[in-house]
Amino acid sequence: MSPKMKKALNDQIALEANASSSYLAMASWCEVTGYEGAASYFYAQSDEERTHMLKVVHYLNDMGANATIPATKVPSASYKSLETLIKTALKNEQTVTAAIHKMVEISQKEKDPSTYAFLEWFVNEQVQEETKFETLLQKFDLIGRDKLAINEIDKYLAAQATAEAEPAA
Ligand code: FEO
């Protein structure tokens, strides 16, 4: 594997680790604010990001390129509202998507078909991740932003967290 590709994949470990810790902080804020559904949703999302990070760690190690485990940034501890929090989550995902697309480009330039194939899963996953948060943001326009509406959105998030926790039939 080329040094450039290796660096990009190691940088991705940091991005996924930061996403996991950022979603953990979001979950914790939701929990103490009383948004139980959103808390479950973001605790699960944090776990998911950790699995993404591990995929890259294992891939680098399997390729004999040795993964580097990074320090993580201190995430924001509080949010103005649930909507602001979800907007931040969408922005995080857009940053991750851009990094993955950049890696696809590097894998093509560096003639690295193994990494190119490895990245396909991440490309598809990002489409789903962005759609998920865009759909959530639409709920605020559709249902509203008053207390009752936020409660409905929290219930929707609880249902989503449960649905995602259930193994696919
Ligand atoms: Fe692993 Fe949500 O990016």
Interval 24-64: pLDDT, tens: 999 999 999 999 999 999 999 999 999 999 999 999 999 99
Hey, how many other C-beta atoms are within 10 angstroms of the C-beta on 15?
A: 20
The confidence band for 164, taking pLDDT boundaries of 50, 70 and 90, is confident
The confidence band for 169, taking pLDDT boundaries of 50, 70 and 90, is low
Q: Which amino acid is at 169?
A: A
Which helix (H) or strand (E) is 134 found in, with range?
helix 113-143
pLDDT at 168: 59
The confidence band for 165, taking pLDDT boundaries of 50, 70 and 90, is confident
Q: Are 78 and 29 in contact (CB under 8 A)?
A: yes
The structure's pTM equals: 0.95
Q: Within 6 Å (CB) of ligand 1, which residues are found?
A: 16, 19, 49, 52, 93, 96, 129
Nearest CA to ligand 1 atom 1: 49
* Residue 36 C-beta-side C-alpha neighbours within 13 Å: 3
The confidence band for 166, taking pLDDT boundaries of 50, 70 and 90, is confident
- Give the span between the Cα atoms of 45 and 48, in whole angstroms: 5
Tokens of 112: 């690295």
Domains and CATH numbers, the chain: 3-165 (1.20.1260.10)
Q: How far is the CA of 149 from the centre of ligand 1 (A)?
A: 28
Q: 23 Cβ partners below 8 Å, 6+ apart?
A: 42, 43, 45, 46, 49, 89
Q: Are 17 and 70 in contact (CB under 8 A)?
A: yes
Nearest to 125 by CA among 142, 100, 107: 100
